[in-house]
Structure 1
Amino acid sequence: MIEIIPCINDAMLMETATLADAIWHEYFCSLLTPDQIDYMVARFQSPEAMIRQVDQEHYGYWQVRQDGQLIGYIGLQFQKDRLFLSKLYLRKESRGQGIASGMLQMVYDTGRDYGYDRVWLTCNKHNRHSLDVYAAKGFVQIGEDVTDIGQGYVMDDYFLERVI
């Protein structure tokens, strides 16, 4: 049984950040250097970063649990005119089972519940698998950018959007 549960306290965000660290080091090892992964996790997915995002930057996080076990998470930022899908990740052993499709449906439903008609995201230009998945789910490329994130690192991303 899959449950998607909002993170309602700092303890849940800390648990989610621990999972984020594990997933990012497993998933992005073929796209980014270990040092860049460490830097990005510390900057964007550490407990402190997640708490700040929720408290100050209009974010919400949700845990994805299968039979009670934490297997993934979603991060959304509630922006002025559209919903930003910041994070959608699953443990390696939970991929390929249709769980991400259910996670995306929750994102669309949440967006509609909050009055949005579009959801957008950024995706690494070299992350071919994710780009293909998002295209199959109806996302279209609306832009691209190379963003300096400090310490000599950049995010080289496409911007994707989908009407919900």
Structure 2
Amino acid sequence: MEIKVCETKQQIQELAGLATEIWHEYFVEIISKDQIDYMVEKFQSYEALSKAIEEEHYTYFLGYEQGKLIGFCGVKPDGDRLFLSKLYLHKDQRGKGLSSTLLKRALAFAEEQEKQAVYLTCNKYNQNSLDIYEAKGFKTIDSVKTDIGNGFIMDDYIMQLDL
């Protein structure tokens, strides 16, 4: 997999398109369609991703296979830690070890930034992802319920990997 940093408007559009597709495929067993639609618009739309990059200091690593965007990872510095906000692969690309490649890039970025740990939030009912993060060495350090507006709550575990 070739990994590039998301820098252009075209890349952000590609990223938003892939995020929309993945969210509507993956999360239907975990949260409602209405919440998926709301969260995609609020966090994964072109506008939201552009704002995250320009104003919130997010970096998105884009994973390509044969020139096609197949996955991505989004990170943001947060004090002495790095927040791993997003790590998603297209359904056809799962199970090939590619999420590990994206995660390794995020961890390398954390080390480049001299961070002490990488942390993330993961839906409490997303057992597949929880298992993967645990297998990669992340430990559950807390849980949080976050009101994201429009009557929706994110019910997550906070997981951390010390570097």
Cα separation, 2, equivalents of 1:94 and 1:35: 26
1:10, distance to aligned residue in structure 2 (A): 2.0
1:74 is paired with a residue whose SS is strand
1:126 is paired with a residue whose SS is coil
Matching residue of 2:140: 141
Cα separation, 1, equivalents of 2:10 and 2:110: 25
Cα separation, 1, equivalents of 2:26 and 2:2: 22
Matching residue of 1:8: 7
Matching residue of 2:31: 32
TM-score (norm. length: structure 1): 0.97
Which aligned runs of 4 or more in structure 1 are off by greater than 2 angstroms? none
Matching residue of 2:74: 75
1:67, distance to aligned residue in structure 2 (A): 1.5
Cα separation, 2, equivalents of 1:7 and 1:105: 17
In 2, are the aligned partners of 1:24 and 1:37 still within 8 Å (CA)?
yes
In 1, are the aligned partners of 2:20 and 2:44 still within 8 Å (CA)?
yes
Question: One-letter code of the match for 1:111?
Answer: A
1:81, distance to aligned residue in structure 2 (A): 1.6
Structure 1 regions of 5+ residues with no counterpart? none
User: Does residue 1:153 correspond to 2:152, yes or no?
Assistant: yes
Question: One-letter code of the match for 2:145?
Answer: V
TM-score (norm. length: structure 2): 0.98
1:102, distance to aligned residue in structure 2 (A): 1.0
Matching residue of 2:90: 91
Aligned pair count?
163
Cα distance per residue 1:22-69 (max 9 Å; x no partner): 000000010011110000000000000000011111101121101211
In 1, are the aligned partners of 2:137 and 2:161 still within 8 Å (CA)?
yes
Identity of aligned residues (%): 46
Give the superposed CA RMSD.
Answer: 0.7
In 2, are the aligned partners of 1:21 and 1:41 still within 8 Å (CA)?
yes
